[in-house]
């Protein structure tokens, strides 16, 4: 158990819908990262927050957004969902920006 | 553009023998490298890391070797155990103001009893 929690574990929704994925980092970790793992793309970095501020963006679609709240939990919002958004979404956290990242169990999203 | 490559999708090894997983990278700006293990339906689990100022790091049965001139790193597992069967990802980061990880596509290791 890495100490990073993600909810929900599974999510099934329809095209065009909007969903919110939630991540609670390890106790004391200030930095949160979101990654997407799809079948043909491997693990891809989406976005990083550090102590509430966005620090880095990867190949995150404009339909996707994220935020980190004062209690340091983070949410990833996915809107106007498409079939191709079906993937595993992982959250990771680290104590500071350059420390080892620890991953949560992931949220499996299926868009029908 | 795949900056981190794991060219072997799978590897099969006998229990007790050495497992060697390989990873190549193209970006000379990477300064920190990590290996993660992943079981089905779970998140990646951190195994071992190495800074670009070192060429070897050891932790129990796991050793990572870094060859900067060849832009190559490898993970050695000795002795291999059936519980080591999983997908292994290597990852690299630039450090600096962010720590985003660039992952390879993974190698599925099967350790046969």
Token pair recorded at residue A29: 């970790």
pLDDT tens digits along B10-27: 999 999 999 999 999 999
Confidence of residue B94 (pLDDT cuts 50, 70, 90): confident
Q: How far is A38 from chain B (nearest CA, A)?
A: 11
Determine the number of helices (DSSP H) and then strands (DSSP E) in chain B: 0, 11
Average pLDDT over residues A35-39: 90
Q: B21 — phi, psi (to 5°)?
A: -110, 135
Q: What angle do CA B103, B9, B84 make, to 5 degrees?
A: 85
pLDDT tens digits along A13-33: 999 999 999 999 999 999 999
Is residue B101 within 8 angstroms of chain A, CB to CB?
yes
For residue B38, what pLDDT is reported? 93
Q: How far is A100 from chain B (nearest CA, A)?
A: 8
Is residue B43 within 8 angstroms of chain A, CB to CB?
yes
Average pLDDT over residues B43-53: 93
Q: Nearest Cβ partner of B100 from A6, A42, A48?
A: A48
Q: How far is A83 from chain B (nearest CA, A)?
A: 21
Answer yes or no: is pLDDT of B56 > 80.
yes
**Dihedral sign for Cα atoms in the order A68, B96, B101, A101:** negative
Average pLDDT over residues B35-55: 92
C-beta atoms of B103 and A4 within 8 A: no
Nearest to B48 by CA among B40, B39, B57: B57
For residue A96, what pLDDT is reported? 74
C-beta atoms of B89 and A90 within 8 A: no
Answer yes or no: is pLDDT of B58 > 80.
yes
pLDDT tens digits along A56-100: 899 899 999 999 999 999 999 999 999 999 999 999 999 876 678
C-beta atoms of B98 and A103 within 8 A: no
| Cα distance between residue A76 and residue A54, in whole Å | 12
Burial track B65-76 (b if 16+ CB lie within 10 A, e otherwise): bbeeeebebbbb
The whole-chain average pLDDT of chain B stands at: 93
Average pLDDT over residues A22-51: 91
Average pLDDT over residues B54-78: 97
Average pLDDT over residues B41-65: 94
C-beta atoms of A105 and B41 within 8 A: yes
Is residue B33 within 8 angstroms of chain A, CB to CB?
no
Confidence of residue B95 (pLDDT cuts 50, 70, 90): low
């Amino acid at each position: 158990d890495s100490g990073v929690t993600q909810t929900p574990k599974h999510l099934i929704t329809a095209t065009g819908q909007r969903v919110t994925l939630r991540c609670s980092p390890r106790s004391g970790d200030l930095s949160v990262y979101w990654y997407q793992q799809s079948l043909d793309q491997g693990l891809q970095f989406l976005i990083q927050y550090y102590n509430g501020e966005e620090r880095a963006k990867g190949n995150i679609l404009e339909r996707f957004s994220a935020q980190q709240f004062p209690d340091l939990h983070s949410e990833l919002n996915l809107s106007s969902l498409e079939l191709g958004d079906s993937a595993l979404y992982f959250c990771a956290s680290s104590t500071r920006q350059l420390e080892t990242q620890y991953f949560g169990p992931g949220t499996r999203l299926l868009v029908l | 553009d795949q900056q981190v490559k794991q060219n072997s999708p799978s590897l099969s090894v006998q229990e007790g023998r050495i497992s060697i997983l390989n990873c190549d990278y193209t970006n000379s700006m990477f300064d920190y490298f990590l290996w993660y293990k992943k079981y089905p339906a779970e998140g990646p689990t951190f195994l071992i890391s190495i800074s670009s100022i070192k060429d070897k790091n050891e932790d129990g049965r796991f050793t990572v070797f870094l060859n900067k001139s060849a832009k190559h790193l490898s993970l050695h597992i000795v002795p291999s155990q059936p519980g080591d069967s999983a997908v292994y990802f290597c990852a690299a980061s630039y450090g600096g103001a962010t720590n985003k990880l660039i992952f390879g596509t993974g190698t599925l290791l099967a350790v046969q009893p």
